[in-house]
Structure formats: C-alpha cells, structure tokens
Amino acid sequence: MARLRRSFYEGRADRVARALLGKRLVRVREGRRLAGVIVETEAYRGTRDPGSHAYRGRKPRNAVMFGDPGHAYLYFTYGNHWMLNLTCEPSQRPAAVLIRALEPSEGVALMKRNRRVEEEVEIASGPGKLAKALGLDGALNGEDVVTSRRLFVEDGLSAGRIGVSSRVGLSEGWERKWRFYIAGNRFVSRGKPSLPRKP
DNA sequence: CGAGAGATGCGCT
DNA sequence: GCGCATCTCTCGC
C-alpha cells in the first residue's frame, strides 16, 4: 500500500480528519509491524478553537502543531496517557487531527500484550489505549510521518458511512462537530458519557 | 451494565 | 494549585 504524501496533510484539519478514516496507521517497532485501520478522529484547528492546545498561543508543548503538516504531535495528559495527533494545514497554521481509535489489523498479539488486555476491542478503542498499544510516547513527538520508518500512514479502502459528532472530553469548544468515525464500527470509542454535551 | 471517582504527572496561572 | 483532547475499577442496581 502506498504511503500518504505531504499534500494529503496540507488541507483543513476537519477535512483531513474525515479523509483519514479507513487509512492504515502503521508503527514499526523492533522490526515488527503494528497496524490498524483508523476508525475515529477529531480535528483541532486554528487559534480560535477553544478546544485546541493552540488556543492560548504557541508554547513549547504545542510547537509541533505550528510546524509543517504530516508530523506526529504526541503529548502527555491525565498523568498516564499519550495522545497521537497528525499535524495538518500549511506551516504556521496550528492544526492537527487526534487519532482516537483503530481497528487492529497487524501485530494483534503484540498489541494485546502492550495493553495487557485479552479482548481485541480493548486494544485501541480510545486515544490513550491506542498510543499504549503501539508503543508511542514523547520520543516520537515531531516525527515526520511522510518519511519515517517508525510511524506512518498507508492508503486504505473507502471508509463507508461516516458519523459526525461533538468532540469528546472538552470543557470548551465541544459544540463544534469535529469528531468523525466509521458508522457502526465496533472499535470506535464510546467517549466519556458524564461530560457536558448537547444533543 | 451504567455512573462515579481516583489515579497520576505535567504545564500553565 | 488546578485542570487536563483518559482509563480503569468499584459500586449499586
């Protein structure tokens, strides 16, 4: 399968987020391929988006968001979890797509071990789970996924019907409908039911 | 099986 | 200190 090129990531974050559904995220670690089909994403774009890390300007942590498209932005949160984003839009325009869930396809046994779970549906049905399953952390922050041998995205099949909803877990900016998922796919995360949200 | 809270560490106020 | 683009476990039904 062909790898996605730089031009793929240059578009608006919400469009890239949609387009990433059905593509294959690949992690190569110690010579082994760990991979899955992207089934859930969220877009964060611009300095006006109160849900985005770029909302309060450029800081050391979010600097990758302001750089070239097609790079991994990995950040640590909640004291436990790494989140994988892929930057998009031209340089200086802060934007990224959070990869929220995968349907596992290669290296399933190893990913289960990384996660210490038995059920396939538990491997990567959420952004923190996904990073753990693939062995992603701050060491890969800034990685160029267009050229990297360790982390990249390959073209895939059509995603089929796409669902749209509010983004998960935000106290501000949740009214933007920038979460996208493959409708009916069982590996999509359920999100966090107790957070404030409007129908 | 759904709701709720604790875990856990870092960046910012 | 507080809040966080979360996860997991414990309760109670």
Per-residue pLDDT tens digits for A170-196: 988 888 999 999 999 999 997 544 344
Whole-number distance in Å between A75 CA and C4 C1': 11
pLDDT in tens, A33-58: 999 999 999 999 999 999 999 999 99
Among the listed residues A158, A198, A164, A157, the one whose alpha carbon sits nearest the alpha carbon of residue A181: A164
pTM: 0.94
Q: Which residues contact A73 (CB under 8 A, 6 or more apart)?
A: A62, A64, A65, A84, A85, A86, A87, A96, A141, A142
- Cβ within 7 Å of nucleic strand C, residues: A 42, 44, 51-53, 65, 73, 77-81, 83, 85, 96, 98, 115, 117, 122, 126-130, 167-172, 189, 191-192
A61 nearest nt, CA–C1' = B11
Largest CA distance in chain A: 45
Q: What band does A76 get if pLDDT is binned at 50, 70 and 90?
A: very high
What is the reported pLDDT for A191?
55
- Is the model more confident about A199 or about A110? A110
What is the reported pLDDT for A161?
95
